[in-house]
Structure 1
Amino acid sequence: MLCLSSFLFFASFNMIIPELPAYLTSLGGEDYKGLIISLFTLTAGLSRPFSGKLADKIGRIPVMVFGAGICFVVSLMYPVITSVAGFLLLRFVHGFSTGFTPTGVSAYVADIVPFNRRGEAMGLQSLFGSMGMAAGPALGGYIGQIWGIEPLFYASAFTAILSILVIIRLKETMQDPEKMSRKHLRLHRHEIIEKRVLQPSLVLLLTVFSFGTVLTIIPDYSEYLGIQNKGLFFAVFTLSSLGIRIIAGKTSDKYGRIPVMKVATLSMAIAMVLIAFAQSKTMLMLGGVIFGCSVGMNSPTISAWTIDLSLDAYRGRALATMYIALEAGIGIGALISGWVFANKAENFPLVFSLGAITAIIAFFYLFLLPKEQRFLVPEDKE
């Protein structure tokens, strides 16, 4: 049930992404394309400390429901507010959705899965999320082409409400959750960042820089290469990540998180170089396949590594810290790529090469970790 809800949630807000750059341009905001993703991720990052604390205090399910509810409401508002400023405000608010729901989902998974199968479980959960990320843009691109942008926004809202109907059927895993009160919205300094998980969070920030670039620039790049469905690349890279997620999770359970991450970061660098210098649809899609494999290895392994290092009582906070790094990396990648691209086709190679550089930095950083980090496997903790 949790996996089904994740599928619907990720499909909801991802199905509109391929059409947003063109929609913003139609509103007269072509110079603000970099803000489409960066504003979304900024809010998600800012809300993570609150979602982490609330997940640890009032329960996992209320946090998941709140995030999906934001998706529903905002998707209904897009057709109503048609100014550039209003659109950017909605993108800012929309970010609360991913600031809350994934934190609750990851904590819920960690609650119900034994340590020695944690990587496998995170791989399975992220598999369904990725299927939503693949189905969303592909379906969204189709709806946008056939029926237009407004029906697409309504389809996004409908998908979000379906995910809520699934979530509310789940049983809360927290023992004795507290009632919501004002004190839960007051953050102390030590409640913002969980220091125990800074190392995986830094690796995540460096690797998802490329993801922000892809989300922002690929729709224009696809059009430049003559690809009509701007969601096709998203479908290719996400589908290529599906099968490898569970394999990567199981491998990290057996051999450790760091060896898998080394392969993931190196693959990311190779993919971004291929994408940067693609001159055809075939080469772009090949880069998308390798990019997807990298993402498929990265996501469940980083999540499991973060949970490995966290304390049970502060699991929500630890996962929130990881997601802050996720949003920061995506947001920075989106903002910088939009600024460097500047709507000039000759800048495509430079934009994607920056993602290769950050992935290489992450690759070498993994070799600098303390020995106990580099070889952490389930048996060590047991």
Structure 2
Amino acid sequence: MSNRLWTKDYISVCLTTFFMFLNYYYLLVTIPIYLIQDLQGNTAQAGLLVAAFYVAAIFIRFVAGRWIESFGIKKVFIVSLIIYLGAAFMYFLTTSLFSLLILRVIHGIGFGMLTTATGTIVATIIPNSRKGEGMGYYGLMMNISMALGPFVGLLTMNQWGSFVMFAVSAVSVLIGTFTAFLISLPKQDKKDEMIIQPKKKGVKINDLIELSALRISLVSFYFAIVYSSIVSFVSVYAEERQLTEVASYFFIVYVIALMISRPFTGKWFDQHGANVIMIPSIISFALGMFLLSQASGAFLFLLSAAFIGLGWGTIFPTAQTVAIQIAPSNRKGTATATYLSTMDSGIGIGSVIVGILGAQIGYSTLYLYSSIFVILGLLVYYFLHGKESHNIREQINEQALEVK
């Protein structure tokens, strides 16, 4: 098996992920504005739209992993592209809260299926010896889109209005669909379809959840609760601290720190295992949250972004790599679905908790407590995965040798 990472298929799946996530983050910030300005909605209804998208994506992922095993990755991937692309063009037709709500559910279903499929594809095409490096760059595509999506979305919406905003959204998905069809899906998928166990009576919990990936997924869930306070409320905190002018640069610094570190962290994972990456990343995340809680000026505010980027931005792809590596070869799709659904659940639940606590104690105090919460996560990581990391790594190496 070739040890090359930057193949046509890998580049294509990374570009597909970038454009699809760009669309996701782009609409995440612009849909509430569209609802309020164009459809005369309110903030409570905007929150309902966000929740509807997340709930649809989380629930569909559990069955999407099962579908990949039952029908093959190609069919699920193509259906997800059709749903996601169709939804992007249907925004032009929304004229009420109800129609927008239904569309966000459909879009969430497409997003959940698509991210499960692409996560499974990329895990399959990356050489085993370069899994950490490959998944790291794949995760970086999501991080870059997270920084650019809101920036481009707000600029487009404010300058040219909702019609152009939806047009740019549709174009981004169109480009992502084009790059998706450049991917040569793994040939073994057809064999996998022949191995499927049809006519299974009933559905068991392990048909929908990959239990081997659950422990590391719960680690990600724990830290995602804190990350939700960043993605949902850091702009509110910046306004509270009179740092509105630099707020838009928070995620730019976040991504720059990630881009600088990514060539090293992925290779270190492949060479030394998860602990060497996860433990420093957790500490960096905690330090970033502490600096954010103390930020009264632009320097500390942006410095915290760098440490948070190095922290959560490395924890997310590293934990996802572990989840995929430890799953049986025919359960990669379910492992991907288990990991992403668990992580998204952490962000969804965290957003509710953080919203309540932030209003009660203030975001500065909330971020201070969050830094302590993250440090305690070292224990969570150790007991759920860290203490077994060395043994798991040896098992993976033995399996790799057997394949050779």
TM-score where L is the length of structure 1 = 0.87
Residue 234 of structure 1 corresponds to 251
CA-based RMSD of the aligned residues comes to 3.0
Residue 214 of structure 1 corresponds to 230
Partner Cα distance (2:81, 2:228) in 1: 22
Partner Cα distance (1:86, 1:357) in 2: 43
Partner SS, residue 183 of structure 2 = coil
Partner Cα distance (1:214, 1:87) in 2: 26
1:158 maps onto 2:152 in alignment: no
Alpha-carbon displacement from aligned partner over 1:92-139 (angstroms, at most 9, x marks no partner):
433223312222122112222332211111112222232222222222
Change (3 A) 1:171 1:359: same
Partner Cα distance (1:36, 1:220) in 2: 19
1:289 maps onto 2:327 in alignment: no
1:196 maps onto 2:212 in alignment: yes
Equivalent residues in 2 for 1:163-312, closer than 5 Å: 163-173=176-186, 174-176=189-191, 178=193, 187-224=203-240, 225-227=242-244, 231-312=248-329
Q: In the alignment, is the contact (CA less than 8 A) between 1:341 and 1:348 conserved in 2? A: yes
Q: In the alignment, is the contact (CA less than 8 A) between 2:216 and 2:384 conserved in 1? A: no
Counterpart amino acid of 1:97? G
Equivalent residues in 2 for 1:1-382, closer than 5 Å: 1-26=12-37, 27-31=40-44, 34-35=47-48, 37-78=50-91, 80-84=93-97, 86-173=99-186, 174-176=189-191, 178=193, 187-224=203-240, 225-227=242-244, 231-342=248-359, 347-353=362-368, 355-369=370-384, 373-376=388-391, 378-381=393-396, 382=398
Partner Cα distance (1:208, 1:29) in 2: 27
Deviates more, 1:84-93 or 1:272-281: 84-93
**RCO higher in 1 or 2 (8 Å CA, sep ≥ 6)?**
1
Partner Cα distance (2:21, 2:42) in 1: 26
Q: In the alignment, is the contact (CA less than 8 A) between 1:258 and 1:374 conserved in 2? A: yes
Q: Which has the higher helix share?
A: 2
Q: How many residues matched?
A: 378
Which consecutive residues of structure 1, in runs of 5 or more, have no partner in the other structure?
none
> 1:301 Cα deviation (Å)?
1.1
Counterpart amino acid of 1:285? L
Change (3 A) 1:231 1:66: farther
Deviates more, 1:84-93 or 1:264-273: 84-93
Deviates more, 1:2-11 or 1:219-228: 219-228
Counterpart amino acid of 1:111? T
Alpha-carbon displacement from aligned partner over 1:184-227 (angstroms, at most 9, x marks no partner):
9x843321211111210111001112232222213333444352
Query: What fraction of aligned residue pairs are identical, expressed as a percent?
Result: 25
Change (3 A) 1:87 1:220: farther
> 1:6 Cα deviation (Å)?
1.2
Q: In the alignment, is the contact (CA less than 8 A) between 1:37 and 1:215 conserved in 2? A: no
Alpha-carbon displacement from aligned partner over 1:344-369 (angstroms, at most 9, x marks no partner):
8x722244345435423322112224
Q: In the alignment, is the contact (CA less than 8 A) between 2:292 and 2:367 conserved in 1? A: yes
Change (3 A) 1:22 1:287: farther
Q: In the alignment, is the contact (CA less than 8 A) between 2:268 and 2:276 conserved in 1? A: no
Partner SS, residue 123 of structure 2 = helix
Which consecutive residues of structure 2, in runs of 5 or more, have no partner in the other structure?
1-11, 399-404
Partner Cα distance (1:80, 1:222) in 2: 35
Q: In the alignment, is the contact (CA less than 8 A) between 1:254 and 1:377 conserved in 2? A: no
Q: In the alignment, is the contact (CA less than 8 A) between 2:246 and 2:298 conserved in 1? A: no
Deviates more, 1:61-70 or 1:3-12: 61-70
Partner Cα distance (1:14, 1:243) in 2: 22
Deviates more, 1:22-31 or 1:210-219: 22-31
Partner SS, residue 15 of structure 1 = helix
Partner SS, residue 190 of structure 2 = coil
Partner Cα distance (2:68, 2:84) in 1: 19
Partner SS, residue 295 of structure 2 = coil
